[in-house]
Amino acid sequence: MKRVLVKSVHGAFGYVMEHYYPFGMADEAAEQGALTDTYVVISIQDSHTNGFGMQFTENQFCKGVLTLYFDDIIREVDGAVLFTDEMADQIIAFVLAHRSVETLLVHCYGGQSRSRAVGAFAVEMLGGNSERYFETGSPNQYVYDVLETAWIRRQLGIF
């Protein structure tokens, strides 16, 4: 992966739509700057609303989608879903399986907490520096810590 993008649900939709063009207009779209990179999406949706009412799907540009339902919390709360070890394992496996794709797009509702934690972790997992995610925002530390622990378990062969 060349880059990891962290967006709000609205920003993610905008990014995906930058890849769209009407049938028969591929050349015109390319001339106007339509994006042609391949990407995968980690879509983090709220459990208490059963998602945002939209789902990303694979197409010629989108090579994979992982949709997870959990809420922006750091401890168990009645009626909300806490991020789990199983979800962390799914994210790690997804990123590893799609390393050849150019862009990882991670979104949650606001693009500030859950998706920022996943994005920061993915950058580190892929050998990059994630400091900017912590300097310019507020990643959900619980989500980040669960991911880090799952990654260590995987590297040690403890499943």
Question: Residue 33: what pLDDT?
Answer: 66
Query: Which pLDDT does position 137 carry in this prediction?
Result: 83
Q: Beta-carbon neighbour count of residue 22 at 10 Å?
A: 8
pLDDT of residue 44: 98
The ranges assigned to domains in the chain are 3-156
* The two structure tokens encoding residue 53: 């009412």
Q: Where are the extended beta strands (E) located within 9-77?
A: 39-45, 62-69
- Would you state the structure tokens that stand for residue 115, as one six-digit string? 């998706």
Q: What is the model's pLDDT at position 31? A: 75
Judge: domain 3-156, CATH 1.10.3120: no
Per-residue pLDDT, 30: 76
Average pLDDT for runs of 10 along the chain of length 159: 95 91 81 81 94 91 97 95 98 97 96 96 95 91 97 88
